[in-house]
Structure 1
């Protein structure tokens, strides 16, 4: 099995309320809206975007380069690009990373897209373990076992 081929064949997913699709340069304005918000980017490893050009560079440098394992999240109801999620493969496992526009927090969107990608990861990619990585200081994350694996990051199995 070639996981890259499987990933290349799955460019788009749909859930009840969301579309997962590849991030494009044309998403820069929507990404800048949340990517420049200090509260939204507080628990990710890059600083807030300073302008649209920096956002476009971020899209080109990360999302285009990592197309096989990253998706933009679009709310069906509004057709608005609201964030991103990636599933970074590590051996026979994978790690989730995500960011959502603060205007859309608290709606259950991350568990919804995670469930979709969990099913894909286990059933199509035949992964043995999928976990979510987050900063342990982020109290809005509710890991399944409530334990943090180290001081900076908490890596927990995502049982969404």
Structure 2
């Protein structure tokens, strides 16, 4: 496994974050629509973002990927694995201008191969807020299977959020790609 993995799809380049991604990523992280249900919604100051950018997004070159379009080489989002033993929990975010174009599923399918083959994970998992059913549909398009509700929590606004889980095992993935 290379320390600096770059993966290409038909329309995207998935690559380690670069210092030049700072402003585009900060704009995404500070957009409440983008991070409404992500842990990054707590990064509310430039100093907090800069610390996360330096210590996580730039520092982790094997499990954090910028999503760049091949057409114009713009950063449109990020994907990351949060490895826990042999399970990788996927997190992603994409700028609103790129919503609805199939980029998240395209990137996700490519990163599943990376997760299973290079990171040697046995299970990939992704979570989404029930208030954002589009994320669940994306996970299904990636071949993941609905595993039901994981937990419920309340946002600062008082809104109750049901966290749903999708899962794909390496065995299921191998069966699907060989079919």
Q: TM-score, normalised by structure 1?
A: 0.82
Deviates more, 1:34-43 or 1:68-77: 34-43
Could you tell me how far 1:135 is from its partner in structure 2? Answer: 2.6
| Residue equivalent to 1:149 | 150
| Contact 2:147–2:165 (CA under 8 A) maintained in structure 1 | no
SS at match of 1:133: strand
Write out aligned runs for 1:51-66 (5 A): 55-66=49-60
Could you tell me how far 1:35 is from its partner in structure 2? Answer: 2.0
- Considering fraction of residues, name the structure with more strand: 2
- Considering fraction of residues, name the structure with more helix: 2
| Residue equivalent to 1:96 | 90
In structure 1, distance between residues paired with 2:47 and 2:2: 29
SS at match of 2:121: coil
In structure 2, distance between residues paired with 1:97 and 1:71: 10
Unmatched 5+ stretches in structure 1: 1-5
Give aligned pairs, total. Answer: 154
Which of residues 35, 38, 42 is equivalent to 2:29? Answer: 35
| Contact 1:43–1:135 (CA under 8 A) maintained in structure 2 | yes
In structure 1, distance between residues paired with 2:7 and 2:46: 27
Write out aligned runs for 1:77-92 (5 A): 77-92=71-86
Which of residues 92, 97, 101 is equivalent to 1:107? Answer: 101
In structure 2, distance between residues paired with 1:95 and 1:136: 17
Deviates more, 1:98-107 or 1:55-64: 55-64
Deviations 1:84-130 (A, max 9, x none): 10012111121100110011011111111111111122233332111
Deviations 1:6-55 (A, max 9, x none): 252x5211111000111122111211232221111111112376576654
| Residue equivalent to 2:157 | none
1:121 aligns with 2:115: yes
